[in-house]
């Protein structure tokens, strides 16, 4: 993990999100965080009017880092303000990282909990909010422990609670550990879960900014989104925009998993080309393997190919290639792994995680898994491919209650487009060609050993 150390506020960091991550095992604690300039962004925000802070966030062009990429400042501007605004107002950090292939938020949760808390405090001040929640995946045990300690450190040092830093601003933060359902990544399903209800999405409108948690104004943003706020307040919107290499502003934590030489996470400028991330930072394919395709933004995005390597990791540019940046965590498919098996694995996951509220998701995804398993076992028919294509259309945006099913079929629909020969070969040969190749390779190795 590339990190950048700086103890001087006058130094303009190029890797703000990871500047607090050092070789010190205690870098996640308050003293170490403050030694590197932690909570300076909050202190500056408290000297400004709430409207001025919101204007700075709008000017920065920060887009939500949870996958949708909606402009953060614009989203926040929908929250009612003024003396007549309803209270309490809530801010929620979505730390329920359940997307297959995604592990970027875990790094920030474990290594820089105070950065998340500071961002949440800045948001609370900006929107005149009263209470914050960190809705975190229950399996992130170390992260939960670190956040609990960090919150207590803040209360002990008057960074949370009543009259924060003598400003008159009051704010409380609570942790809520998730029961572990992927659907909780959808903000209204998360709100329902936080209220103790079944985690199903809500109809919109009303939108959470007006009527969210317990019917009060609520903002839900990703971990990484909140982590950008201290730096925007500290170093300014113009600095933040200058970090991006294309249209989108700032930096992002990108990741690569799969058969590459150096899988991991790196904080890089928005707009870094896909090929640079895979070939340079991830070291390219492992010896003996070739690239077949990749999911650019986690398990719910469409496959792209090597011909798309010049595409910047920028929300709009990846959209032009008929995929999405999503979480920015790339999953690489090599030439020796079956694309049908990979898609089957993903579809099974999404079918299991469906809340069951709408038919295309509740019934369509399990049926897609049945058809894919049939094809993978060599029992498929060409008509099954047509059924899979129809299922992708039935689960398309606008046909479902939320975005789970449309995201779930993205790897399937793109695999049918780019790897159709693999699907047809399973059917005509009545077996998985990748399993046959694997068996033949094993026999060759056994003969060689003899």
In tens, the pLDDT along 312-344 reads 999 999 999 999 999 999 999 999 999 999 999
Q: Which residue has the higher pLDDT, 134 or 203?
A: 134
CA pair distance 223, 66, nearest whole angstrom: 8
Q: Take residue 283 and report the two structure tokens written for it.
A: 């070291």
What backbone torsions phi and psi does residue 137 show, to the nearest 5 degrees? -60, 130
pLDDT band at 38 (very low <50, low <70, confident <90, very high): very high
30 pLDDT higher than 90:
yes
Q: How confident is the model at residue 444 (pLDDT cuts 50, 70, 90)?
A: very low
- Looking at residue 66, its pLDDT comes to 85
Q: How far is CA 205 from the centre of its chain?
A: 24
How far CA 436 is from CA of 83, 234, 373, 443, in Å, comes to 70, 58, 17, 11
> DSSP string spanning 148-183?
HHHHHHHHHTTSSBSSGGGSS--BEEEEEEE---GG
Mean pLDDT, rounded, for 70-97: 95
Q: Helices 50-60 and 113-126: crossing angle, nearest 10°?
A: 120
Q: How much is the pLDDT for 179?
A: 82
**Direct distance between the N- and C-terminal alpha carbons of the chain, in angstroms, rounded to an integer:** 43
- Mean pLDDT estimate for the chain: 93
Contact (Cβ atoms closer than 8 angstroms) between residue 129 and residue 162 = no
When pLDDT is cut at 50, 70 and 90, the band that residue 67 belongs to is confident
Please state the three-class secondary structure of 395-431 as a single string. Answer: CCCCCCCCCHHHHHCHHHHHHHHHCHHHHHHHHHHCC
For each of the domains in the chain, give its residue range(s) and CATH number, in order of start.
16-242 (3.40.50.11540), 251-334 (3.10.20.600), 339-435 (1.20.1440.230)
> pTM for this one?
0.91
Beta strand pairing status for 131-137 and 90-95? Answer: parallel
How much is the pLDDT for 11? Answer: 75
Q: How confident is the model over 281-300, as a mean pLDDT?
A: 97
**pLDDT-based confidence at residue 449 (cuts at 50, 70, 90):** low
pLDDT tens digits along 153-197: 999 999 999 999 999 999 999 999 988 789 998 999 999 999 999
pLDDT of 107 strictly over 60: yes
DSSP 8-state assignment for residue 263: -
pLDDT value for 183: 92
Residue 78 CB contacts under 8 Å (≥ 6 apart), including other chains: 207, 209, 210
Of 171, 159, 155, 162, the residue nearest 42 (C-alpha): 159
Mean pLDDT of 63-85: 92
More confident residue, 435 or 88: 88
């Amino acid at each position: 993990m590339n990190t950048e150390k700086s103890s001087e506020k006058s130094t303009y960091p190029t890797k703000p999100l990871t500047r607090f991550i050092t070789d010190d095992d205690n870098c996640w604690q308050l003293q170490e965080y403050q030694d590197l300039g932690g909570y300076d962004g909050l202190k500056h925000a408290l000297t400004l009017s709430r409207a001025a802070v919101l204007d700075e966030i709008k000017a920065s062009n920060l887009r939500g880092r949870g996958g949708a990429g909606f402009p953060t400042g614009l989203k926040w501007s929908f929250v009612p303000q003024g003396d007549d605004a309803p209270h309490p107002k809530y801010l929620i950090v979505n730390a329920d990282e359940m997307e297959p292939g995604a592990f970027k938020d875990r790094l920030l949760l474990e290594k820089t909990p105070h950065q998340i808390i500071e961002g949440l405090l800045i948001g609370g001040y900006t929107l005149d909010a009263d209470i914050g929640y960190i809705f975190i995946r229950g399996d992130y045990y170390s992260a939960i422990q670190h956040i609990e300690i960090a919150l207590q450190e803040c209360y002990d040092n008057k960074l949370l609670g009543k009259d924060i830093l003598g400003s008159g601003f009051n704010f409380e933060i609570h942790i809520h550990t998730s029961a572990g359902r992927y659907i909780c990544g959808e903000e209204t399903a998360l709100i329902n879960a936080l209220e103790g209800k079944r985690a199903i999405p809500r109809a919109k409108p009303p939108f959470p900014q007006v009527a969210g948690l317990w019917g009060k104004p609520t903002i839900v943003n990703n971990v990484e989104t909140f982590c950008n706020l201290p730096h925007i307040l500290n170093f300014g919107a113009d600095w933040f925009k200058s970090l991006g290499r294309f249209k989108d502003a700032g930096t992002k934590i990108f990741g690569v998993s799969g058969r590459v030489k150096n899988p991991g996470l790196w904080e890089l400028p928005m707009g870094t080309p896909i090929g640079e991330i895979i070939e340079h930072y991830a070291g390219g394919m492992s010896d003996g393997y070739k690239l077949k395709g990749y999911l650019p933004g986690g398990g719910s995005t469409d496959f792209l190919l090597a011909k798309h390597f010049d595409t910047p990791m920028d929300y709009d540019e990846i959209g032009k290639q008929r995929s999405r940046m999503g979480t920015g965590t790339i999953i690489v498919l090599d030439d020796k792994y079956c694309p049908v098996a990979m898609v089957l694995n993903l579809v099974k996951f999404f079918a299991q995680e469906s809340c069951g509220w709408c038919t295309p998701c509740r019934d369509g995804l399990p049926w897609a898994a049945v058809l894919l398993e049939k094809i993978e076992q060599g029992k498929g028919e060409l008509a099954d491919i047509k059924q899979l294509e129809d299922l992708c259309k039935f689960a398309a945006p606008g046909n479902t209650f939320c975005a789970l099913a449309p995201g779930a079929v993205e790897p399937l629909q793109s695999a049918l487009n780019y790897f159709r020969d693999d699907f047809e070969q399973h059917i005509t040969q009545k077996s998985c060609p990748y399993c046959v190749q694997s068996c033949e390779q094993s026999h060759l190795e056994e003969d060689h050993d003899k």
